[in-house]
Amino acid sequence: MEAKRFYIRTFGCQMNEYDSRLLTDLLISSGWTPTSRAEEAVLVVFNTCSVRHKAETRVYGHLSGVASLKRLNPEVRVAVVGCMAQRLGEGLLDRFPLIDLVLGTEEIFSLPEILESEDLRERVKLKLSGRDFGELATKLAPFSAEALASFVAITRGCDNFCSYCIVPYLRGPLRCRPHPQILKEVEALVTRGAKQITLIGQNVDSYFDGEIDFPDLLERVCSLPGLQRVRFTTSHPKDFGEKLLEKMANLPQLCEHLHLPLQSGSNQILGRMNRNYTVEEYVQKVEGARERIPGLCITTDLIVGFPGERETDFERTLEAVRKVGFDASFTFRYSPREGTAAASFDDDVPEAVKIGRLNRLIAFQRGISEKRNRELAGTVQEILVEGHSRRQQDRWKGKSRGGKTVLFSADRESLLGKLCRVRITSCTSKTLFGEGVS
Ligand code: SAH
Ligand code: SF4
Ligand code: F3S
């Protein structure tokens, strides 16, 4: 019998990448074979994102493309899963009748079962609570191909309700996985070759499983043998605290990188975003963190054009970026999301102004990133090697402990998966260049 092939395309954040890995493992254990070519597949899965309008239009583009696959082979099944499925439900079927299944952020894992039963009458499943797939995840890990770096979700959902954000509506309330389950999953991944684990959650600092909190969880993860690097994302400035800093300073596996979304440099805007901290508190926390952890890299998320953002508010964002000196920032144009608190605010910043501010912010950040990178010239950095540079095959590529991409030359044959010491010689705003030192 010919192998049943499936193709998964993942949009959105690390949580979606994680869910796609679990779904891949589940499908493989149910007899399916993965393919990276949609044309070969009899099952096409889109794991989708709704965080901004643009994230959804990208998926629409891909869905139109799948129509031709289905014309060639009517046996092909198309499943749209994840956040956009959760948000639009039936509406997706109305717009794209070619879709066979719409499964929300928690129902996604019932896909193999539904396909097995061949009962496609109930085509939309959106329940946010019910079955717990966390335990299953601990048993699945050995199926996938070896991966050097893996994500492990420690929570699902979010209770923060930042006023612009759709995530709590699509992923449900905060649920924390019991820590023994997380440790088991990390161990399984290390056994299959993982050198680095990134613990993920919408707000990892809010982790508490009834027994231990996030800093304690980090300590337990770091004590597992064979693990070389541990990272985590995302922290929330209102919750990020002293105990976590202490662990970062003392646990050698824990990398010197902190992703701490600021969102805006204006207190008035932060208040309307329901972020529950001021810029002053934010700056104080990162300054404290820099003092405690030498070489700490700090990255952030920033939104421009939030309702009511005046030029002076935007300038405060630039000022905060200058003051903190972020190593990098992910910058977004505000996109109203139906059902969120901010969607009822007047979206009063004209699109052209949003674009103008975004471009200014990007250019400003680029200068600061370059300056931060230049400061590393002459230093020796520890790099986890992920492969070759795409453009220059004789150069190795990897990440520093701070999370920066580093390209370097070295004599040794295979460095894949190795930790290497690299002397930094030059840089751009995005990349460091160097030479291996033995
Ligand atoms: N839980 C994480 C990730 C949230 S989504 C966190 O709290 O950081 C990632 C980023 O998308 C957010 O930090 C925010 O900067 C951005 N974002 C979320 N909703 C948005 C919206 N409606 N418009 C523009 N950017 C948005
Ligand atoms: Fe959204 Fe805020 Fe939760 Fe992050 S912390 S997922 S931005 S509501
Ligand atoms: Fe997008 Fe859902 Fe992640 S909306 S950012 S994929 S949680």
Indicate the SS3 state at residue 369: helix
Q: What is the pTM of this model?
A: 0.95
Q: 51, 156, 163, 167: which to mutate for ligand 2, most atoms within 8 A of CB?
A: 167
Mean pLDDT for the stretch of residues 195-213: 97
Pocket of ligand 3 (CB under 6 A): 12-13, 15-16, 49-51, 83, 167, 170-171
The overall average pLDDT reported for the chain is 93
**When comparing pLDDT for 132 and 140, which is higher?**
132
**When comparing pLDDT for 70 and 342, which is higher?**
342
Q: Which residue in the block uniquely carries the two structure tokens 């990178």? A: 373
pLDDT, tens only, 77-98: 999 999 999 999 999 999 999 9
Nearest alpha-carbon partner for 40 in 4, 71, 10, 64? 4
| pLDDT given at position 438 | 73
**350 CB-near residues (< 8 Å, 6+ apart):** none
Q: 9, 17, 50, 337: which to mutate for ligand 3, most atoms within 8 A of CB?
A: 50
CA–CA gap between residue 92 and residue 63 (Å, rounded): 10
pLDDT, tens only, 299-320: 999 999 999 999 999 999 999 9
Question: Where residue 122 falls among pLDDT bands split at 50, 70, 90?
Answer: confident
Across the strands, what pairs with 431?
Answer: 405
Q: Which residue in the block uniquely carries the two structure tokens 């004590």? A: 223
C-alpha 262 – ligand 2 centre gap (Å)? 12
The domains located in the chain, with CATH, are 4-125 (3.40.50.12160), 132-255 (3.30.750.210), 259-375 (3.30.750.200), 380-436 (2.40.50.110)
234 CA closest ligand 2 atom index: 4
**Distances from the Cα of 378 to the Cαs of 20, 207, 209, 348, in angstroms?**
40, 39, 44, 48
| pLDDT given at position 142 | 52
| pLDDT given at position 145 | 52
120 pLDDT more than 90: no
C-alpha 51 – ligand 3 centre gap (Å)? 6
Say how far residue 147 (Cα) sits from the centre of its chain: 16
Q: Which residue in the block uniquely carries the two structure tokens 């337990």? A: 220
CA–CA gap between residue 310 and residue 266 (Å, rounded): 10
C-alpha 302 – ligand 1 centre gap (Å)? 8
C-alpha 337 – ligand 1 centre gap (Å)? 11
204 in Cβ contact with 214 (< 8 Å): yes
| pLDDT given at position 185 | 93
Of all protein residues, the one whose alpha carbon is nearest to atom 1 of ligand 3 is: 49
pLDDT, tens only, 4-43: 999 999 999 999 999 999 999 899 988 999 999 999 999 9
Helices (H), 325-419: 351-374
125 pLDDT more than 90: no
C-alpha 237 – ligand 1 centre gap (Å)? 14
